[in-house]
Amino acid sequence: MKIRNTLLLAGSLLLLGACDESKYDLDSLVPEQYHKILYVNNSGKQEVTLYDTGESYAYTFSIFKSGSEPSLTASADIYVLTQEELDNEYSDPEAVNYKLIGTDCYSIESTHLDFSATDRYKPVTVSLDPENIKSMITANPDAVWVLPLQVVSENDSVNSEKNELFLQITGVITPSFGFESSAVSVKEYSYGSAITEKVALGLDTENSWEINCEFAVDDAYRTAYNTKNKTIFQALPDGSYSFQDQMTLSPGTTNTELAVTINTDQLEPGDYMLPIRIESVSIFGISSTNDVYPLTIRILGPLLDRTSWTIEANTQEPSGEGSGNGVPSCALDGDLSTYWHSSWQSGTHALPHELIIDTKETYTFTQFGLVQRQHDSYMDAGAGVFYVSDDKVNWTEVGTFTMQKIHATQNFTLETPVQGRYFKVQITQSNRDLNTSLAEIYAYGL
């Protein structure tokens, strides 16, 4: 019959160090059952997530031997609670529908352990079968599937507070291979610069396998993205980029990088997208959310010299923002601490608010850059439209913009490069009623 002993160490243990010549021997001070005590390290409830890899999952725990004289030999058995015991000890008290996984779902390396005089602990490995457990979860998804283990001994003491290991299966997941992110993040580069992008990807669990994967460009993704988001990303021309179309992830390597080289000598200023898709992997699945990496770049035209430019606006605040501030010229002075502001002291001006810049020469504009007022509470410019003209009379709409509330320069690529002498920034939406402001305005072109 298996015996489960409750442990309370006798207070008389404290006397041992102070009574070197005591007439009492060890057995008279410490009851025999406390000479060697067995317990489960990391006992209690432990959550386990399994991966459907076609291989069993090994969970290892240890049973330790301690007590007043741990050099003694000992023995223990590992016992799996029955469903009835599981209900009595856990399901009913916690009001949780715990279910014991089937015997075909696990195996225990050794259910009987013998401790020699020198053994301080014994490791125990439980092998779990993800495929069979997944079938049980699928058949009864409302249950919480567990494997409750208990350490017992016929002859030795077991700590009743640390005698159980309660493995709770949180789910069985099929590993997937994918990019670290599929978010569109535009990186800006100067015209004619060399570009090498390193794209992070890998497996969503520790890798113990050799995984072969293949990549391809999915230009239909770019087309669909432009349509959905009203963007103007162009396809990178053939021959302007290169990357490995095959890669092997070796065992022990979970994450890696795909190097993409782009030759900008073949590119005109503009916005480009290279959607790289994971075409296939040799085992497991491809991530349903991160199967495509939309590499997006903006090639900026040369920044145009603003030295001789002039600017006017249909509204300004020449006094309310301080002397020399609030006027249109502040948007061309190269000083981020100054800013143009729409009128407010003598009454607000209805939207749209317009600023017209005369560049004094004819340029082919490729992008315009705007900078919000450098104050966290007064980043007023919301959205608007760009126009270009040869004569300041006839205007052509060339692009739109939506500004973020950030301090950095925000650049906007035109739908197509447009030639002209004048350009207009028309603000149609404000982040603060009818107030708008800008710290700087830039233009890029050829």
Question: Each residue of 36-60: pLDDT tens digit?
Answer: 899 999 899 999 999 888 889 999 9
- If one compares 297 and 446, the residue with the highest pLDDT of the two is 297
Q: Is 2 in contact with 77 (CB distance < 8 Å)?
A: yes
Q: Which residues contact 172 (CB under 8 A, 6 or more apart)?
A: 50, 51, 52, 130, 131, 133, 134, 137
For residues 349 and 365, give the distance between their C-alpha atoms in angstroms, rounded to a whole number. Answer: 29
For residues 121 and 39, give the distance between their C-alpha atoms in angstroms, rounded to a whole number. Answer: 9
Rounded (5°) CA angle 185-189-192: 145
Q: Which residues contact 276 (CB under 8 A, 6 or more apart)?
A: 179, 199, 215, 216, 217, 218, 243, 258, 260, 292, 293, 295
Please state the domain extents for the chain. Answer: 30-173, 176-300, 310-445
Element (H, E) at 27: helix 26-29
Q: What percent of the chain has pLDDT over 90?
A: 85
pLDDT tens-digit map of 381-424: 999 999 999 999 999 999 999 999 999 999 999 999 999 999 99
What pLDDT is recorded for position 70? 86
What pLDDT is recorded for position 33? 57
Closest Cα partner for 343 from 277, 433, 232? 433
What pLDDT is recorded for position 206? 87
Q: What is the CATH number of domain 310-445?
A: 2.60.120.260
What pLDDT is recorded for position 27? 45
pLDDT tens-digit map of 90-125: 999 999 999 999 999 999 999 999 999 999 999 999
pLDDT tens-digit map of 129-174: 999 999 999 999 999 999 999 999 999 999 999 999 999 999 999 8
Q: Where are the beta strands (DSSP E) in 9-155?
A: 37-40, 44-51, 57-66, 74-80, 98-100, 106-108, 112-115, 121-128, 144-152
Say how many C-beta atoms besides its own lie within 10 A of residue 348's C-beta.
Answer: 17
Q: What is the CATH number of domain 176-300?
A: 2.60.40.1740
Q: Quick check: 29 pLDDT over 50?
A: no
Across all residues in the chain, what is the average pLDDT?
Answer: 92
Tokens of 12: 């008389």
Was domain 30-173 assigned CATH 1.10.1840.10? no
Tokens of 278: 């994971």
* Most trustworthy range by pLDDT among 10-14, 264-268, 331-335: 331-335
What are the φ and ψ backbone dihedral angles of 393, each rounded to 5 degrees? -115, -50
Give the pLDDT band (50/70/90) at residue 31: low
pLDDT tens-digit map of 337-348: 999 999 999 999
For residues 360 and 95, give the distance between their C-alpha atoms in angstroms, rounded to a whole number. Answer: 80
Residue whose pair of structure tokens reads 């005590």 in the numeric block: 37
Q: What three-state secondary structure class fits 97?
A: coil
Closest Cα partner for 173 from 208, 142, 204? 204
176-300 and 310-445 have identical folds: no
Amino acid (1-letter code) at residue 290:
N
Give the pLDDT band (50/70/90) at residue 68: confident
What pLDDT is recorded for position 34? 66
